[in-house]
Amino acid sequence: MKYALVTGGSRGLGKAVCLEIAGMGIPVIINFQSNETAAEEVKAAIEANGGHAELMKFDVSNQSEVENALEAWEESHLDDYIAYLVNNAGIRRDNVMFMMPDADWHSVINTSLDGFFYVTRKLLPNMMKRKHGGHIVNMASLSGLKGMQGQVNYSAAKAALIGATKALALEVAARNVTVNAVAPGFIDTDMTKELPQDELKQMIPMKRFGKPEEVAALVKFLLSDAASYITGEVISINGGLYT
């Protein structure tokens, strides 16, 4: 059986993506780092609709935790493999650069970029050797495309993730593995609640923040067979804010 793994799947965009994938009839592995209660709620919601979900706890930026968790899963699922991967885990630690602590730089970079590297590297061999390959979607950001003041760390992490997406897509295309990125603008999640929404909405041509479900629908398409000839792309979803 082919499974999907969503990193940072307990809240926000990750939660919406988990629910959308489960609706495709794909069993979902919900990764979380600390909020097990939230992850359990996502699992319960999936199961209430007849889907299958499992929880997997690890810090994406910790190589040993990633490898130990995924190896344990593979040992208990000998006939299955993770064919769909959504690298969603990410954090913000906003500040102007001249006041940014070292820890805030490294934690943001490590979560987005090291997390992508450790998880994807571990899962790629199984995807590449299977006839049906796999689909990888990386959660980038508007910040990685145009840069955002107060987000030098976050912009750097997401811009690097976009570059990695394009390079990896070339490496694995012949093995029937697609690699794409989604670049959301301002989406109504916990991560954006503290932002001045009324002010920011005036900058957005559609005059509103996006919904997590709208981003999840795009991810669903990129994971589907309908998108099997799309790879190395970065698709923006930002209400026309930046095109």
Just list the catalytic residues.
154
Instruction: State how far the Cα of 144 lies from the Cα of 111, in Å rounded to an integer.
Output: 15
Which regions of the chain does DSSP assign to beta strands (E)? 2-6, 28-32, 53-57, 81-87, 134-139, 177-184, 234-237
Collapsing DSSP to helix, strand or coil, 240 comes out as coil
In this structure, the dihedral spanned by the alpha carbons of residues 152, 153, 155 and 161, taken in order and rounded to 10 degrees, is 150
Collapsing DSSP to helix, strand or coil, 95 comes out as strand
Which residue type, as a one-letter code, is found at position 126?
A: N
In b/e form, how buried is each residue of 132-157, taking b as 16+ CB within 10 angstroms? ebbbbbbbbbbbbbeeeeebbbbbbb
Tell me which residue of 114, 127, 140 sits closest to 84, measured CA to CA.
Answer: 127
Instruction: State how far the Cα of 237 lies from the Cα of 219, in Å rounded to an integer.
Output: 11
Residue 138, phi-psi category: left (phi > 0), alpha (psi -120 to 50), beta (remainder): beta
């939660």: which residue's tokens?
A: 15
Instruction: State how far the Cα of 113 lies from the Cα of 5, in Å rounded to an integer.
Output: 17
